[in-house]
Amino acid sequence: MIDTGGACDAQERLVAERRLALGEDHPETLTAMLDLADRLWAQGRLIAARQLEEKVVEGRRRQLGEQHADTLRAIGKLAVTLGAQGNLAEARRLQEEAVSGRRALFGDTDLETLRAINNLAGTIAAQGDFGEEHPDSIRAMSNLAAILWQGGDRAEAYALQQQVVELGRLVFGEDDEATHTAAAILAAMEQEAGC
């Protein structure tokens, strides 16, 4: 259901109250601003959402630094908004920053890292730089297969992992470590599913 404005009005009041009581860069103010940006986004008000997200990113960078999970989350949200507005180059730059930071902090198997990788892959595909045969796209597909498997969508996960193995053989070659890893994951899926 689309918010008719009541929730946005209440969130705008909360942001104003927190700015007054805590200051513009206080973590609670920044969180309230990001929540308001989400509500504006849901209403299709991307310009207003972007302006708030930019302020949140700036504030979190000042308060928490570049390599903090909250900063990286805000960067990722801003990147999605920029992409939705058609600014794919800037969206990609920020998504690469978010992926790099999340990998450094949490590794490749963290759910938020996987989401950031998936968002980056989508932006890259939208730019037309490369499709599913690019190594980053193959890794994103493998990560998505793992998420689907863990989430219980085994049939879709298995089908996607089969594609990963086929693409790995095509792109990396039969003897490549990435291809072997993808095949081993597929075999483990088969064994666990009793295939």
CATH number, domain of 55, equals 1.25.40.10
Neighbours of 1 (CB within 10 A): 4
Do 107 and 152 lie in a common domain?
no
Do 99 and 174 lie in a common domain?
no
Do 144 and 108 lie in a common domain?
no
Q: Which residue type, as a one-letter code, is found at position 177?
A: E
Do 135 and 190 lie in a common domain?
yes
Which range, of 6-10, 94-98, 105-109, 139-143, averages the lowest pLDDT?
139-143
In this model, does residue 58 exceed pLDDT 60? yes
Confidence of residue 69 (pLDDT cuts 50, 70, 90): very high
Residue 78 lies in a domain: yes
Residue 135 lies in a domain: yes
Confidence of residue 111 (pLDDT cuts 50, 70, 90): confident
Confidence of residue 2 (pLDDT cuts 50, 70, 90): very low
Residue 158 lies in a domain: yes
Q: Which tens digit of pLDDT belongs to each residue from 116-175?
A: 887 887 787 677 665 667 777 787 778 878 887 887 878 778 888 888 898 889 888 999
Q: Compute the mean pLDDT over every residue in the chain, rounded to the nearest whole number.
A: 87
Do 22 and 49 lie in a common domain?
yes
The pLDDT > 70 percentage for the chain reads 93
In this model, does residue 96 exceed pLDDT 60? yes
3-state SS track over the chain = CCCCCHHHHHHHHHHHHHHHHHCCCCHHHHHHHHHHHHHHHHCCCHHHHHHHHHHHHHHHHHHHCCCCHHHHHHHHHHHHHHHHCCCHHHHHHHHHHHHHHHHHHHCCCCHHHHHHHHHHHHHHHHHCCCCCCCHHHHHHHHHHHHHHHHCCCHHHHHHHHHHHHHHHHHHCCCCCHHHHHHHHHHHHHHHHHCC
Do 169 and 195 lie in a common domain?
yes
Using alpha carbons, select from 75, 36, 70 the residue that is nearest to residue 52. 36
Q: Which tens digit of pLDDT belongs to each residue from 71-91?
A: 999 999 999 999 888 898 999
Do 155 and 98 lie in a common domain?
no
Do 99 and 190 lie in a common domain?
no
Residue 87 lies in a domain: yes
Do 82 and 153 lie in a common domain?
no
Q: Report the number of distinct structural domains present in the chain.
A: 2
Which range, of 38-42, 51-55, 60-64, 139-143, averages the lowest pLDDT?
139-143
Structural domain of 193: 130-195
Q: Which residue type, as a one-letter code, is found at position 86?
A: G
Domain end call among 112, 141, 176? 112
pTM assigned to the model: 0.67
